[in-house]
Amino acid sequence: MRIEFQVCGRPMTQGSTRVIPLKAKGGGYQVRPDGRPKLIPVHDKGKELKAWRQQVALTAREVYNGPLLLDAVALTLVFERPRPKGHYGTGRNAGKLKASATDHPIQKPDVLKLARAVEDALSGVVWKDDSQVVEETLLKCWGDCYRVSVTIQPLPAASPPASGCSAPASGSTSACPAGERLALRGDGQSPAAPSSDPS
């Protein structure tokens, strides 16, 4: 089974949140018993992000109405965006790409933040939690409009680890070479690298 769909529209990034004091009904701000103000997380583009998530979820439901996936999945997201007008010439060169136009959309937003918003939108819709995504391919490219193409592939329970992964051998506590293992001290910090000086 493979789930595929496209969502048209300008993708929003998950981005970062900030906290602000929670206002009280009669004015001022709500406080905790210890006197500290109550804080709530706020996203920089909360309304736009919520609308984008809803659009992704609605489109996914139109394509997939089965039970929530509970096992590992592979996810591919291709984000497209049109080139800015500044990439094209004017006058006799109208419609022609300038030599300075980049081959790839290296401008913001970051593809990882774009992916996070889609992953969260699909939680509770296609899969139970986005932690089930164990393989992910992310692409950001030029296109004729803003959209994201989504491909979800459930992985068989007996599928081998993804490329680059290797399961520890039976009875082994680590698959890392001995020289690359780092134990944590009791305070959670990595120990200093051992000295190469035999003295």
Tell me, yes or no, whether 175 lies in a domain: no
Q: In CATH, what number is assigned to the domain containing residue 140?
A: 3.30.1330.70
Query: In the chain, what percentage of residues exceed pLDDT 90?
Result: 47
Q: Domain of residue 95: give its range.
A: 3-14+44-158
Angstrom distance (rounded) from CA 8 to CA 37: 41
pLDDT digits (tens, 9 = 90+) for 112-131: 999 999 999 999 999 999 99
* Contacts for 89-95: CB closer than 8 Å, 24+ residues apart: none
Angstrom distance (rounded) from CA 195 to CA 178: 16
pLDDT digits (tens, 9 = 90+) for 63-79: 999 999 999 999 999 99
Q: In one letter, which amino acid is 8? A: C
**What rounded mean pLDDT belongs to the chain?**
81
Tell me, yes or no, whether 59 lies in a domain: yes
Q: Are 149 and 2 a contacting pair, CB within 8 Å?
A: no
pLDDT digits (tens, 9 = 90+) for 53-63: 999 999 999 99
Tell me, yes or no, whether 168 lies in a domain: no
Residue 116, helix vs strand vs coil: helix
Tell me, yes or no, whether 195 lies in a domain: no
Tell me, yes or no, whether 192 lies in a domain: no
Angstrom distance (rounded) from CA 34 to CA 132: 39
pLDDT digits (tens, 9 = 90+) for 11-39: 998 766 667 687 888 788 888 888 888 87
